[in-house]
Amino acid sequence: MKARLWNSLEQAIPWATRGKFQSLSRFECTSSFSTTSSTRAPPATAKDAMRQKENDLLRPSQTTTSNSAVQSEGLNGVLSIMNSRYQNAGQRGASYIDGLRKRQEQHFTAYGNRTPPHNLHIYAHKHNTLITLTRPNGDPLMSLGCGNIGFRKSHRGGYDPAFQLSSHVLAQIQEKGFLHDISGITLVFRGFGHGREAFTKVLLGNEGRNVRPLVTRVTDATRLKFGGTRSRNVRRLG
């Protein structure tokens, strides 16, 4: 009777027949990969033990904090070096982008230095080409046409006379020392003769290498008639 009762009890509650449990030591309670000390008290339940293991795994180690500190120190060191260089160069309190923007405004805008530019007028019609250099207030410094370089009458209206005149004018600007006083040049085109294209070719070529960097603006002052007096009859040949 007792044997049958013991067998039924063993099947119903197996852990009751295996003797007493042995309590774990403090060293055995801590996991092998945990960063906590071995003197910690054991958790009360199994759920608390699993939660403690998760906290140990998710807790940042000391190496990660040290790496972040080293990175921050390296970044601050680079910034301090850059700031010291800018201060030594006379740009105290200004970043590299601000200095670059100021240089662009001074060199690539028409009135970056706040001094008005000189004017170079190119009057090109079908019979002649006239080039005039004036001061900012409009006073002329030099005015030349195709007749001043040896072309007469109908020979003054071609492409070659305009090309030679443009080369001569740019050379005279350099020889007379006008480049020392000129901080900027505004090109003012008028008319649609051969002189417009000829002057553009000369300015973009080797003859205009010293004048080309001074050009700040290009305008067109060709006169257009809206109504007004009656125009001349179109010339018809033959």
Domains and CATH numbers, the chain: 25-60 (no CATH), 75-108 (no CATH), 118-220 (3.30.420.80)
Task: Please give the Cα distance from 48 to 42 (Å, whole number).
Answer: 9
Nearest Cα neighbor of 185 from 149, 227, 156, 214 is 214
Whether pLDDT at 92 is above 80: no
Cα end-to-end distance, the chain, whole Å: 148
* Predicted pLDDT of residue 49: 80
**Mean pLDDT calculated for residue range 126-146:** 96
Mean pLDDT within 216-235: 92
Poorest-confidence range of 2-11, 93-102, 125-134, 198-207? Answer: 93-102
Tell me how far apart the alpha carbons of residues 199 and 207 are, in angstroms, rounded to a whole number. 10
Distance between CA atoms of residues 145 and 123, nearest Å:
9
From residue 11, alpha-carbon distances to 19, 21, 114 in Å are 15, 19, 103
> Can you name the residues that pair with 220 across neighbouring β-strands?
189
Helix (H, G, I), strand (E, B) or coil at 216: strand
Average pLDDT over residues 129-135: 97
How confident is residue 107, by pLDDT bands cut at 50, 70 and 90? Answer: low
pLDDT, tens digit (0-9, with 9 covering 90-100), for 179-206: 999 989 999 999 999 999 999 999 999 9
Supply the pLDDT for residue 148: 96
Q: What is the distance between the alpha carbons of residues 9 and 7, in angstroms, rounded to a whole number?
A: 5
Question: Which residue(s) pair with 121 in the sheet?
Answer: 132, 188
Mean pLDDT (the chain) is 77
> And the tokens for 28?
């055995």
CB 146 within 8 A of CB 198: no
Q: How would residue 34 be classed by pLDDT, with cut points 50, 70 and 90? A: very low
pLDDT at 119 over 90: yes
Poorest-confidence range of 90-94, 136-140, 177-181?
90-94
Residue 178 clears pLDDT 60, i.e. is over it: yes
Q: For tokens 């080039």, what's the residue? A: 131
For residues 45-73, give the mean pLDDT. 64
Tokens of 193: 């003769």
Q: What CA–CA distance (Å, rounded) separates 177 from 210?
A: 12
pTM as predicted: 0.52
Give the model's confidence band at 128: pLDDT under 50 very low, under 70 low, under 90 confident, else very high: very high
Q: Which of 10-14, 16-20, 40-44 has the highest mean pLDDT?
A: 10-14
- Lowest-pLDDT choice from 72-86, 118-132, 152-166, 216-230: 72-86
